[in-house]
Structure formats: structure tokens, C-alpha cells
Amino acid sequence: MEVRPVLLEGEQVRLEPLSQDHAQGLYGRGRHEPDWVYMPRACFVDAADVRHWIDEATAQEGRVPFAIVEKAKGRVAGSTSYLNIRPEHRSLEIGWTWLGQDFQRTAVNTEAKLLLMMHAFEKLGCIRVEFKTDLRNERSQRALERIGAVREGVLRKHMIVQRGYHRDSVYFSVTDEEWPAVKQRLQGAASR
């Protein structure tokens, strides 16, 4: 299982390998502080901050980051990544997902998840795709449950995040046996 940058395209969304070409669009979407409250870092403060974040994301071992692009208007909507890639166990995580306010609670996130999971299960041969979220982020937990991801448990004081907060992380997963049903749910939700 070799995971590398790839272009993934759906009806409404295109996932492009993250590059500096996305910096301006990401800056425009990533400055709203409340959107970042559950993320490991705070919102973008300036264009240089975005460029630095992109450099870190693309250089991080075991991470394949994407820009989420809304196809209709070609606007950068946010970002997501494959993380914690473990070829020997045929598993990976989908995470570091964030969207600008215009794209929250839309089919953009649903279709992005669908594209990432289709690629993981159907092209890469994954048997497990996992997600983690801050225990405080109930909206994210409900969204993962809606698509059929199984809540596995909480890792207490899992990460130290913004302002030194000791974050508890909730883990969810989808396995290859569950994927067909999850795929149907995602396809139905993305077409609404």
C-alpha cells in the first residue's frame, strides 16, 4: 500500500495535492477563529502563516494533505489529509479536516470524505480507515456517527493543543466490511 499525492474528483469537489498554489484561498477561508477551536493550532493570522502551515503539512512524514476545491466556482473550501498511514496494517486516518464557513454543513465535506474513503478502500486496499476528534467537538462526533463510523473509545489527555489544553480524543473507524453500507450513506448524503 503506497499512499502518495493524487487528484480525486467528484461531482462537486476536487481534492488536489496541497501546494503553495492554494495559500491565498486557504487564507481566505481559514481566518475565522471559532472554526479552529478544536484543532491542534489556531486559525491563520496572515499569508506567511498559511505558507508555513502548507510547508509543514507537505513535509510531515506519514501525511498526504489535500486542498478541498469546490468545482462549480473553483474556490478553495478547506483542507483535509491522510495521516497515520500504516501500510503494514493496511490502515490510515482521515483528519486535519477543516472547511471555511461558506462550506460548512454542505455536501462539500460529505463528498470529500466519500472520495477519500473510496480511494482508501477501493484503490489502496485499506481494511481500516480511522478518524479522531476532540471530545468537546460533539458536532464532529455526530457527523461521523451519521455516516456509519463506529465510535471506538476515548484516549484521555491524548494531545496538548492550543493554549496548552490537554485534549481527550475520540476515535472512530470504518472497516472494509462496513465500507459498502457507509459508501451508500455517503453517496446519498452527497447527492442532496
Burial class (CB in 10 A: 0-12, 13-18, 19+), 184: exposed
Positive or negative CA dihedral for 85, 90, 91, 94? positive
pLDDT tens by residue, the chain, 192 residues: 888 999 999 999 999 999 999 999 999 999 988 888 888 888 899 999 999 999 999 999 999 999 999 999 999 999 999 999 999 999 999 999 999 988 888 889 899 999 999 999 999 999 999 999 999 999 899 989 988 999 999 999 998 988 888 999 999 999 999 999 999 999 987 776
**Rounded Cα–Cα distance for residues 76 and 24 (Å):** 9
Whether 86 and 92 have beta carbons less than 8 Å apart is answered as yes
Name the residue among 63, 84, 61 with its Cα closest to residue 5: 63
Cell numbers placing 135? 471530545
| pTM of the predicted protein model | 0.93
Q: What is the dihedral of CA 65, 178, 109, 49, to 10 degrees?
A: -30
Helix (H, G, I), strand (E, B) or coil at 116: helix
**Rounded Cα–Cα distance for residues 169 and 177 (Å):** 24
Whether 128 and 90 have beta carbons less than 8 Å apart is answered as yes
CATH architecture for the domain at 8-190:
3-Layer(aba) Sandwich (3.40)
The H or E element spanning position 73 is none
